[in-house]
């Protein structure tokens, strides 16, 4: 368990025109070494006195009641997500869900010509981001390509590299109100590389661990201050616009994944206790003031993932129910 603070660095890359690429799911970053760390501060689970209480609502698109994941929510309550597990014959299909929440307010959103699409993030200006695939062979077998949608116009956005994985894996996962998106790509050796993409200029820049610039790292979310959440090794992190790198590891967890962040630096995600068949997944929120707080949907207390948070503290994510289905949820404080 640790919460390590250190200086951060972002390395600019060349500006290139957007291209076209395909879809997949976020995985834990590969092992990363971290040497010469500054003194660590200890994070602990928040006491019940500090914990926020939530009302939970299950939200599933009726097109597939067996698999829904809600991945992002903006300040107007618009939610990004998708249905379909990605297994062969069960493709991902993206959508946004508008309030008031009901079946008539699920709006299909799929990259033009795609076989699979996930809508992973959105801002308050109507911009959405995600990734798509041109095949549906099965989870882990399909290429992933990043995309942005501005005013109904899809654009492919993949980090320029001469060393892509096979199949290609490039995913955009979050976007802020300055139209800066973040995501990651995978190289031919299986290492993850986080990056920013400026939607207005088309410029890409790398997001790196300042102590180990070659470390495998994913950028998963960005807030309006430019602070970035993500994952490296078995830990999450928060990289502030001022250059502070905070490593996030939930107490007693074998792995921690940071998946969303709001403008108050409230980070959300999931942590795992145990391993193998005994592994249990819990959702969490983390703030600089109170540290970690466990958040579990009451219908999926051992299988909850919190994937997005807005500036009102509303959470979205998903859990596995008693029938083995993956259900989306909204948690409102």
Q: Which residue has the tokens 């919460």?
A: 3
How many other C-beta atoms are found inside a 10 Å radius of the C-beta of residue 7? 11
pLDDT at 218 over 80: yes
Cis before residue 100, ω within 30 degrees of 0? yes
Dihedral sign of CA atoms 303, 55, 287, 181 in order: positive
pLDDT, one tens digit per residue, over 228-258 is 999 999 999 999 998 899 999 999 999 999 9
CA pair distance 96, 68, nearest whole angstrom: 12
**Segment 202-224 mean pLDDT:** 94
pLDDT score, position 252: 97
Residues facing 271 on adjacent strands: 256, 282
Band of pLDDT at residue 5, cut at 50, 70 and 90: very low
CA pair distance 208, 6, nearest whole angstrom: 12
Q: Are 225 and 243 in contact (CB under 8 A)?
A: no
Q: Are 305 and 319 in contact (CB under 8 A)?
A: yes
Domains and CATH numbers, the chain: 2-332 (2.120.10.30)
Q: Which residues are CB-neighbours of 216 under 8 A, at least 6 positions away? A: 29, 30, 31, 32, 191, 192, 193, 232, 233
pLDDT, one tens digit per residue, over 61-81 is 999 999 999 999 999 999 999
Percent of the residues in the chain that have a pLDDT greater than 90, as a whole number: 82
CA pair distance 121, 184, nearest whole angstrom: 14
Nearest 5°: the CA angle 246, 249, 252 is 155
pLDDT at 27 over 50: no
What DSSP element (H or E) covers 287? Answer: strand 280-287
Strands 180-186 and 192-198: antiparallel
pLDDT, one tens digit per residue, over 112-144 is 999 999 999 999 999 999 999 999 999 999 999
How many other C-beta atoms are found inside a 10 Å radius of the C-beta of residue 14? 8
Token pair for 249: 């590891």
Phi first, then psi: what are they for 276, rounded to 5°?
Answer: 60, -140
**Segment 29-56 mean pLDDT:** 48
CA pair distance 58, 279, nearest whole angstrom: 24
Report the chain's mean pLDDT, rounded to a whole number. 88
pLDDT at 33 over 90: no
How many other C-beta atoms are found inside a 10 Å radius of the C-beta of residue 119? 30
- pTM of the predicted protein model: 0.87
């Amino acid at each position: 368990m640790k919460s390590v603070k250190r200086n951060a660095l972002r390395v600019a890359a060349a500006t290139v025109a957007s291209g076209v690429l395909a879809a997949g799911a976020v995985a834990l970053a590969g092992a990363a070494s971290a040497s010469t760390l500054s003194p660590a501060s200890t994070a602990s689970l928040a006491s019940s006195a500090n914990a926020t209480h939530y009302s939970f609502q299950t939200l599933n698109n009726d097109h597939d009641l067996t698999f829904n994941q809600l991945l992002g929510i903006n300040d107007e309550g618009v939610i990004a997500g998708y249905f379909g597990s990605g297994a062969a014959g069960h493709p991902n299909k993206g959508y946004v869900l508008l309030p008031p929440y009901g079946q008539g307010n699920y709006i299909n959103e799929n990259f033009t010509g795609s076989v699979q699409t996930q809508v992973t993030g959105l801002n308050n200006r109507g911009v959405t981001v995600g990734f798509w695939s041109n095949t549906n062979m099965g989870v882990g077998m399909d290429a992933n390509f990043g995309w942005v949608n501005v005013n109904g116009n899809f654009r492919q956005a993949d980090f320029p590299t001469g060393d892509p994985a096979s199949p290609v894996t490039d995913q955009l996962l979050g976007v802020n109100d300055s139209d800066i998106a973040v995501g990651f790509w995978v190289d031919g050796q299986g290492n993850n590389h986080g990056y920013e993409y400026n939607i207005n200029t088309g410029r890409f820049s790398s997001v790196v661990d300042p102590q180990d610039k070659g470390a495998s790292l994913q950028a998963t979310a960005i807030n309006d201050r430019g602070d970035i959440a993500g994952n490296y090794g078995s830990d999450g992190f928060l990289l502030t616009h001022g250059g502070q790198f905070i490593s996030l590891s939930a107490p007693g967890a074998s792995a921690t994944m940071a998946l969303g962040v709001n403008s108050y630096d409230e980070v959300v995600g999931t942590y795992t206790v145990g391993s193998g068949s005994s592994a249990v997944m819990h959702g969490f929120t983390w703030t600089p003031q109170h540290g970690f707080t466990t958040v579990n949907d009451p219908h999926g207390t051992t299988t909850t993932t919190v994937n997005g948070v807005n500036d009102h503290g509303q959470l979205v994510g998903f859990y596995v129910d008693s029938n083995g289905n993956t259900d989306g949820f909204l948690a409102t404080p």
